[in-house]
Structure 1
């Protein structure tokens, strides 16, 4: 911060409106006015719930308003959606004084909110009060300089957003290409293939003890595999709970539909894990790719295994299965590399954004 910058409590340069505790009986998913809750702030466009009842006009939020979530992760967000209502535990910044540019404050306030969050003790969820927001000693330069810096950040952030969107689009296109290639293999020329119902493709397998999620260890002798997205989900030390494999299997998440090819001994994690041991005529990896090529409709967090039973599985002789899975493995590794490149690009863009913000509010951007 330069010596010429002022520092004032936010309560002296703007007003804060706390959200209203709207009657939950009038919440609706089909009609009414959109209701902004904390979960809607990052989205910034739409809400999951509407309010179908009378309301005070002062709680109406319009596009361009700045809102702060007051539970959990503290942060300020710009609302960019249609007119909506300000729910409790969300506050709105308004009535800015003539000496502060609202967009300049928006770009700078999250640093202060993060400091409050880091210094807030909690038992379950961190809470922020409007008094704490009003007490923030906010530093700012003269108005003309604020506007110049906002213009610089607007241009830079627009470029960062475009670069992020391009990276995401490239990854999305690659995923679509992989899925198309995958589906073409299993729906194309199947001459010489055999066909069986899904259940006839499986052998019985003995389940070992399933370990509850709360008991997972961060380190240990044996890996735990559950229906969660991560490949390995924890560790365990009890030898008697280990599932000893004589051949690879597929783990299917009954709730999550996550698929994992497993060729090592492991421990079962919690509820919802289904073990798919194919008959000798079908390789486990081929079965996994078949299931990826034939995704079933999601029914939320209900159990999906019963939907697999409706499938008919087509499979060629084992040597051809091996050729197919080798090609798909190669394509899958390429997709993994693309994911890593995308993650690295997004991380670099986030770091660039934070670096620009730091320079602006340290008075280092000329």
Structure 2
């Protein structure tokens, strides 16, 4: 377990480097190299007690750690010695090949003696002690490598890795491979899993030394990046691998290891293909240029006859209609696929919002089975927002139990028809192959129920509707005034904006009406193209038509209330089911046939009325609170005795030291990156060379948007077109901010407005009066801000009520 002092020391190392080495990956590499340097010296001094030093002997003796850190060594001397040492260390014949590989191509990316001295002093606090503590410390260090890499890599969450390993259950005599190993997270989890299986009093104590050596020799990883190979070697070494087998190898274009197979493969391969695709060799079964297709093909082909695999794949593998994707799915269904686990879209936040699934392969079971199981994970124990905070809801344990039951049933050659899952369903391979596209979206073959406490019967949506149809399949010419033509963007929080939508002439309107594109009172609109799930109920009598991206749903009121259908279609559960069933390439959509087949709960009509009344009561609170937020503006009454000055004469502007470039910031840096959008925060950065000191309060003004933001912390400029306003002696910064909010500059196309702002006039109350005005407005805003929490609470109540309808609470 990572202790607080070790964590503090690693954080301190990053803090020291961040000003000179802003890239997190480079920080990790520098800390890794320094740690191994220090640990080599620790081991060498320990060996010297029983004989001579070998790591730092001969011409390399001058690079020993004690030489580097000896009292009185000058900063420039330390810099020269350390820089030379890490570049030459891979030539040291006295150190094992593992360490030479780690130092291959190592260099010092900065030339500041004081930064190096402070950094090495912190590294000096680490000591190699052969314990799991150092492995945990390095895992913590690697956790900063979350952001997506150039080759499409991103960090797999530890709990997902452990889940996959537990499902596959690798054994001590089996060969284990990750052909895109990154920092070796899967391999280490597999190692720990096997040690746990062979434990009496301490991890792995039931294994003989020879068995441990064989186990280590059986665990292999490939990666195309030398940096990742270096990190993997260190990670494995610090977890007890004296001789880790990680190779710099291009799995997709090299044939050197093509004939090697593995009993177990665990991987989250890169999803990104370079421009122009990959140029693989000709030994793949599937001829493709997409990395995700080739990696899955490689793993399916490189399992032993009884081999097993768990592979994270992007959404495209599941449904894409291009030939290579269909051929791959056909290959998997016919040879090795036994289960598909759908993961929630936020599983890889904050690094990526990509929707993923886990493919479970088992060659021996697949040969004797004519079914495939589909499981759906809606919650993985963490919130699906950017912060990924731990929550109580977690479907992974249940999925693991039900998948294990399914696999054991197949191994025992028993029928699966009687198996009942709360997180999944079983489908015949014949049904999957029926139309030739081998689609692996579980929802296509039935509704995955996730409740063991269903209060009401479940029916297909289409069975309780008189009609489910599309809107217009073409875009008529729009006019300045005429009949409203509603698209997805005109649906907002359950309401239909007939005033702000496009207009069409009478001829087009009549044609669309004849085509069935005119909703009526009681119909429900549901967005099915692109952003699935925007919903609104038609609760008025007006003439309008809708675009094909909206489905028009006409409930059968003898069975279901329109308001209840609206509530169900607005629920997280229904939107999740619909999203999982999207198809298409250029535009992702859910087709009407599939939409109608999604199962929904159907309480009696009197119960529906009670549910609707409860939810509408909550919604009124939400609408009222939202109206407060939408309509509140700070107001500053102007006293006639206050002097009024030209704005440009009482403020000054600050020029940033450097504008941060697009792509040089992420969501996880320490300092905000400000642009001129309404929300103003473009991202975050660790690059201190770009920072503006806003600790005394600055106002940021968007030269195109006229948006204003108050900043009272260090920040960086993330875009052209923002002006950073500094108050003069006569003004309080926050008074300027509130005044610009209450007296905004009018927007005029894309013209620059700062010149207009400088020519405008601003009242100059006494400083004490400005401070009092600021305090009053801040008190108002605190009351207004409470409405945000109110909205969040009552929206949560709405979803809780809906979850109860689905039988999930």
For Structure 1 versus Structure 2, the TM-score category normalised by the shorter chain is: 0.7 to 0.9
Residue 487 of structure 2 aligns with which residue?
37
Shift in Å at residue 84 of structure 1? 0.8
Shift in Å at residue 252 of structure 1? 0.9
Q: How does 1:133-152 map to 2 (within 5 A)?
A: 133-141=595-603, 145=604, 147-152=605-610
Q: What are the Cα deviations for residues 304-355 of structure 1, in whole angstroms up to 9, with x where unaligned?
A: 2232133123325xxx21x123213322332332233211211221122222
Distance 2:724 2:456 in 1: 67
Residue 155 of structure 1 aligns with which residue?
613
TM-score by length of 1: 0.79
Shift in Å at residue 273 of structure 1? 0.8
Residue 114 of structure 1 aligns with which residue?
576
Residue 501 of structure 2 aligns with which residue?
48
Shift in Å at residue 270 of structure 1? 0.8
Residue 324 of structure 1 aligns with which residue?
769
Seen in structure 2, the aligned counterparts of structure 1 residues 339 and 3 have a Cα distance that, compared at 3 Å, is closer
Seen in structure 2, the aligned counterparts of structure 1 residues 115 and 312 have a Cα distance that, compared at 3 Å, is same
Shift in Å at residue 291 of structure 1? 2.7
Shift in Å at residue 284 of structure 1? 3.2
Tell me if structure 2 keeps the 8 A contact 1:251–1:274: yes
Unaligned runs of 5+ in 1: none
Residue 66 of structure 1 aligns with which residue?
524
Q: Judge which range, 345-354 or 291-300, deviates more.
A: 291-300
Residue 237 of structure 1 aligns with which residue?
686
Tell me if structure 2 keeps the 8 A contact 1:242–1:267: yes
Q: What are the Cα deviations for residues 251-290 of structure 1, in whole angstroms up to 9, with x where unaligned?
A: 2122332323345443112122112234444443443344
Residue 27 of structure 1 aligns with which residue?
478
Residue 256 of structure 1 aligns with which residue?
705
Residue 147 of structure 2 aligns with which residue?
none
SS at match of 2:485: strand
Shift in Å at residue 18 of structure 1? 1.3
Residue 323 of structure 2 aligns with which residue?
none
Q: What are the Cα deviations for residues 104-138 of structure 1, in whole angstroms up to 9, with x where unaligned?
A: 43333443332231465887764211121122234
Shift in Å at residue 244 of structure 1? 4.8
Seen in structure 2, the aligned counterparts of structure 1 residues 99 and 62 have a Cα distance that, compared at 3 Å, is closer
Shift in Å at residue 359 of structure 1? 2.6
Distance 1:33 1:59 in 2: 13
Unaligned runs of 5+ in 2: 1-452
Tell me if structure 1 keeps the 8 A contact 2:672–2:682: yes
Distance 2:695 2:531 in 1: 47
Q: More strand by proportion, 1 or 2? A: 1
SS at match of 2:759: coil
Shift in Å at residue 44 of structure 1? 1.7
Q: How does 1:1-366 map to 2 (within 5 A)?
A: 5=457, 7-8=459-460, 10=462, 14-24=466-476, 26-28=477-479, 30-42=480-492, 43-46=495-498, 47-52=500-505, 53-54=507-508, 55-57=511-513, 58-75=516-533, 76-81=535-540, 82-94=542-554, 96=556, 99-110=559-570, 111-118=573-580, 120=582, 126-141=588-603, 145=604, 147-168=605-626, 175=632, 178-179=634-635, 182=636, 184=637, 187-191=638-642, 193=643, 195-203=644-652, 205-230=654-679, 232-244=681-693, 248-299=697-748, 302-316=751-765, 320-321=766-767, 323-362=768-807
SS at match of 1:91: strand
Q: Judge which range, 197-206 or 85-94, deviates more.
A: 197-206
Q: What are the Cα deviations for residues 25-61 of structure 1, in whole angstroms up to 9, with x where unaligned?
A: x212x22211111111233241510121331422212
Tell me if structure 1 keeps the 8 A contact 2:652–2:727: yes
Aligned residues: 345
SS at match of 2:657: coil
For the aligned residue pairs, the C-alpha RMSD in angstroms reads 3.3
TM-score by length of 2: 0.39
Q: Judge which range, 226-235 or 306-315, deviates more.
A: 226-235
Which of 1 and 2 has higher RCO (CA within 8 Å, sep 6+)?
Answer: 1
Tell me if structure 2 keeps the 8 A contact 1:149–1:360: no
Shift in Å at residue 11 of structure 1? 5.6
Seen in structure 2, the aligned counterparts of structure 1 residues 213 and 51 have a Cα distance that, compared at 3 Å, is farther
